[in-house]
Amino acid sequence: MTNLEELQRALAQALVAAEQRRSIATSSSTDALAMDDPALAGISKAELQRAGQTLIRKRLSHIRSQLPRMSALLGPRLPSLFRSYAAEHHFTGYRAPLRDSLGFSQFIAVQHELPPWVHELARWEAMFCHWTLLQNQFWMVCLRYHVFDPAVFISYEEEPPKRLTIWLAHRLGGRGRIRRIV
């Protein structure tokens, strides 16, 4: 019988190690993973693939919660964009959902095929993740589009109204109050 510690280490590797993650993120859940760690002998590769997909799905649910406006704007494009991102990135620790959200918004901000207002919304929502993650900091975001106002409906297809806005925020210490000037 496989030692439990070896089995768990192999499982953790299979679910989140870079090579396997790319395989999980880019193939359908019915494709079996390519792996040959003897500690995993007898475990269904299709089940492992599904477990990996479940993990990516869970990360995506955090993205929807942390970046709600960008997620809504991307709509059905979100899962495939997130899978492309997840193939290359995995964060750990209790702040992993925040780091993931920050990483994904930075990923979106450089996807040239997306409209510029999506990039702006990504940078704006990323600011909130930064605020939570970082300590002493000043932050500035310049926006050309009126994307930050929840009262303004933004569509992926239609260019939103332009309004030059500068957000300045600062926070002294990880437990300090966030102060902002718009």
Residues making contact with other proteins (CB under 8 A):
1, 3-5, 7-9, 11-13, 15-17, 28-30, 41-44, 47-48, 50-51, 54-55, 57-59, 61, 64-65, 90-94, 96, 174-175
Which of 13, 77, 94 lies closest to 51, judged by CA?
Answer: 13
- Give whichever of 13 and 111 is closer to other proteins, judged by the CB atom: 13
Q: How far is the CB of 146 from other proteins (least distance, A)?
A: 25
Residue 125 has φ and ψ, to the nearest 5°, of -70, -30
- Give whichever of 10 and 118 is closer to other proteins, judged by the CB atom: 10
Strand, coil or helix: 169: strand
- Give whichever of 134 and 142 is closer to other proteins, judged by the CB atom: 134
- Give whichever of 88 and 159 is closer to other proteins, judged by the CB atom: 88
Q: How far is the CB of 94 from other proteins (least distance, A)?
A: 5
Give the residues across from 137 on adjacent strands: 171
C-alpha dihedral sign at 14, 20, 21, 24: negative
Q: Are 122 and 109 in contact (CB under 8 A)?
A: yes
Beta-strand ranges (E) seen in the chain are 137-145, 162-171, 179-181
Q: How far is the CB of 124 from other proteins (least distance, A)?
A: 20
- Give whichever of 61 and 155 is closer to other proteins, judged by the CB atom: 61
Q: How far is the CB of 27 from other proteins (least distance, A)?
A: 12
Q: Are strands 137-145 and 162-171 parallel, antiparallel or unpaired?
A: antiparallel
Q: Rounded CA gap, 156 and 61, in Å?
A: 20
